[in-house]
């Protein structure tokens, strides 16, 4: 079965949300559609899911540390950014959205974001009050104005016990949006 993702290189940024465990299913579904998936995990993401899980599913090394850059002469975050057809952040925390909006580059993922010229798809997952905070709203507006696309969040029961807007969009929907974005390029 042919897909808009066949042969595409997707850098999957995973951040420190309880929804990080869904990155395993997302990686699996993207690979089934023919994409090459290159996971990048923040320190927070590694509290919820291990790099080994994503490495096994992606069949690629997992980038976790800006200061252990790989084997070649080119910095790993630059090399990975240059090969990306899509930068997909799922789940995206309020923290990483703020880092991206303000151009901060303190870790592998945020540094990669500044170098990457591929389309950016962000799937937020956080407490509903964080999502609706004026700072997050402004950061989302800034990134949207720069061309980033957002999918979600979804309304429902949140890990914190609240009900409301903040859940990660369903994995199937994220995959479909990635296909749409890469199908029009």
- Do the strands 9-14 and 120-124 form a parallel or antiparallel pair, or are they unpaired? unpaired
Contact present, 165 and 153 (Cβ < 8 Å): yes
In a domain, 35, yes or no: yes
Mind listing the pLDDT tens digit for each residue in 40-87?
999 999 999 999 999 999 999 999 988 776 566 567 788 899 999 999
- Residue 94, Cβ density class (10 Å: 0-12 exposed, 13-18 middle, ≥19 buried): buried
Q: What is the CATH number of the domain that holds 121?
A: 3.40.50.1950
Contact present, 126 and 17 (Cβ < 8 Å): yes
In a domain, 152, yes or no: yes
- Do the strands 154-157 and 149-150 form a parallel or antiparallel pair, or are they unpaired? unpaired
| Omega before residue 119 within 30° of 0, cis | no
Supply the pLDDT for residue 159.
Answer: 83
In a domain, 1, yes or no: no
Supply the pLDDT for residue 72.
Answer: 62
In a domain, 92, yes or no: yes
Supply the pLDDT for residue 3.
Answer: 83
In a domain, 26, yes or no: yes
Mind listing the pLDDT tens digit for each residue in 111-165?
999 999 999 999 999 999 999 999 999 999 999 999 999 999 998 888 888 888 9
Whether 183 shows a pLDDT value over 80: the answer reads: yes
Distance CA 184, CA 158 (A): 34
Half-sphere exposure (Cβ direction) of 3: Cα atoms closer than 13 Å:
20
Contact present, 26 and 41 (Cβ < 8 Å): no
Whether 185 shows a pLDDT value over 50: the answer reads: no
In a domain, 4, yes or no: no
Residues with a known catalytic role: 160
- Do the strands 120-124 and 86-92 form a parallel or antiparallel pair, or are they unpaired? parallel
In a domain, 151, yes or no: yes
Q: Which residues of 132-157 are buried (b: 16+ CB within 10 A; e: fewer)?
A: eeeebeebbebbeeeebbbbbbeeee
Number of domains in the chain: 1
In a domain, 95, yes or no: yes
For 47, the domain range is 9-183
């Amino acid at each position: 079965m042919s897909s808009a993702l066949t042969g595409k290189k997707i850098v999957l940024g995973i951040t420190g949300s309880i929804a990080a465990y869904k990155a395993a299913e997302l990686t699996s579904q993207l690979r089934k559609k023919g994409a090459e998936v290159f996971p990048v995990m923040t320190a927070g993401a590694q509290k919820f899911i291990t790099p080994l899980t994503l490495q096994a599913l992606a069949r690629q090394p997992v980038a976790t540390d800006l200061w252990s850059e790989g084997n070649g002469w080119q910095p790993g975050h630059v090399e990975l950014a240059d090969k990306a057809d899509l930068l997909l952040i799922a789940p995206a925390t309020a923290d990483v959205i703020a880092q991206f909006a303000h151009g901060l580059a303190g870790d592998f993922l945020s540094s990669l974001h500044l170098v990457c010229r591929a389309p950016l798809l962000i799937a937020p997952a956080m407490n509903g009050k964080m999502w609706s905070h004026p700072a997050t709203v402004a950061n989302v507006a800034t990134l949207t104005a720069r061309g980033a696309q957002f999918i979600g969040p979804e309304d429902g029961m949140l890990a914190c016990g609240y009900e409301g807007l903040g859940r990660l969009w369903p994995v199937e929907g994220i995959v479909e949006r990635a296909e749409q974005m890469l199908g029009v390029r």
